Amino acid sequence: MTKILLAFFLLLSLSLQATDTLSSWNEGKNKTNIINYVQSVTDKNSSDFIPMKDRIAVFDNDGTLWSEQPVYFQFFFAIDRIKALASTHPEWKNTQPFKAVLEGDMKTVIASGKEGLLKLIMATHTGMSDEEFDAIVIDWIKTAKHPTKKVLYSELVFQPMLELLDYMRANGFKTFIVSGGGIDFMRPWASEVYGIPSNQIIGSKIEVKYEDKNIVRIPKVRFIDDKEGKPVGIHYHIGKRPVAAFGNSDGDFAMMEYTEANKKYKTLQLYVHHTDEEREWAYDRKSHIGSLNKGLDYGNEHNWTMVDMKKDWKIIYPFELKNKKEGSK
């Protein structure tokens, strides 16, 4: 009797699992690619089997796990901080690019270029301890809303990618974020939202020093985790070549090429192609952010998994799932 019951529950759990796998993904070549890859490398009897310790999966963040338009969300954070700090910085009224930010003149802000952007980042991201900065970021992510989508930024993560993260982990993969965004901007909230521990989140770094029992953030760039910087960040933080890489832009190309060149194991490369103007945004070769040009050609030629957001994803954001359920009541 007990054995029969056990078998019953086992079957039930297996069938639930099958139904739940990547449920926000439409059936088709790309979903099949992912599942075939995971099944083959986790099958002990397959020549493609990868031991668990080497199942390293790396995910870009901006544009891959959440949206990134009209500008990187970290830039909105900097803008909001400039506004919040303006009363203690009267000089900003007459100093660019701060003046432009306070006047909402985004054209001038953007025209200030890299140098201007760096000034805004340093004024808002440094000069405090790491723990004070964490608290500022957490407060922002819990309250600030996207200008056109009118929801919290953390609600603009991609439901199909959350399912993919879960699916990889359920199959013994260790999931890492490898982002051009700030490592300390992501860690306070991304752990919870993506289920990835802070020590598996890699990003660009500003300089810090140890002072009076605290880590203090100082206004200098230490490391840019983008393009050729991504394999370097992976080397230092992970210490081994990944087997699966997920990105959306040419900034991820080096990381994906580095993964593809893994001589020991079968690999998976997946690009999220932003093709959905209606539900998200549509952009690729000529976008001012997250441009996908070289990677689009190379990925197609090399049989990478090229996700067509419009075609492949049933829903984009988790709140659609909630809305759907409520609508069907």
Footprint of its own copies (CB under 8 A) = 2, 53, 130-131, 174, 176, 183-184, 187, 191, 197-201, 205, 208-210, 213-215, 228-229, 231-232, 235-241, 254, 257-258, 261
Tokens representing 229 are: 């910087």
Closest distance of CB 116 from its own copies, Å: 27
Closest distance of CB 207 from its own copies, Å: 9
Torsion over CA of 131, 65, 145 and 116, rounded to 10 degrees? 70
**Contacting residues for 10 by C-beta, under 8 A, at least 6 apart:** none
Say how far apart CA 327 and CA 329 lie, in whole Å: 6
Closer to its own copies by CB, 116 or 231: give it. 231
**Contacting residues for 225 by C-beta, under 8 A, at least 6 apart:** 178, 179, 180, 183, 202, 203, 204, 205, 232, 233
Closest distance of CB 313 from its own copies, Å: 30
Closer to its own copies by CB, 160 or 203: give it. 203
Angle ∠(141,144,146) on CA atoms, nearest 5: 110
**Whole-Å CA distances, 147 to 132, 208, 322:** 26, 32, 21
Closer to its own copies by CB, 69 or 262: give it. 262
Contact present, 324 and 48 (Cβ < 8 Å): no
Greatest Cα pair distance, the chain, in angstroms, is 81
Q: Give me the half-sphere count of Cα atoms (radius 13 Å) on the Cβ side of residue 328.
A: 6
Say how far apart CA 300 and CA 279 lie, in whole Å: 24
Closer to its own copies by CB, 43 or 207: give it. 207
Closer to its own copies by CB, 164 or 202: give it. 202
Closer to its own copies by CB, 134 or 308: give it. 134
Closest distance of CB 171 from its own copies, Å: 17
Closest distance of CB 96 from its own copies, Å: 32
Of 318, 26, 35, 17, residue with least CA distance to 168: 35
Closer to its own copies by CB, 96 or 191: give it. 191
Contact present, 86 and 102 (Cβ < 8 Å): yes
Closest distance of CB 198 from its own copies, Å: 4
Of 65, 57, 27, residue with least CA distance to 155: 65
Closest distance of CB 325 from its own copies, Å: 29
Tokens representing 233 are: 């960040």
Closer to its own copies by CB, 208 or 270: give it. 208
User: Would you give the distance in Å from CA 96 to the centre of its chain?
Assistant: 31
**Residue 158 backbone dihedrals phi, psi, to 5 degrees:** -90, 115
Closest distance of CB 269 from its own copies, Å: 13
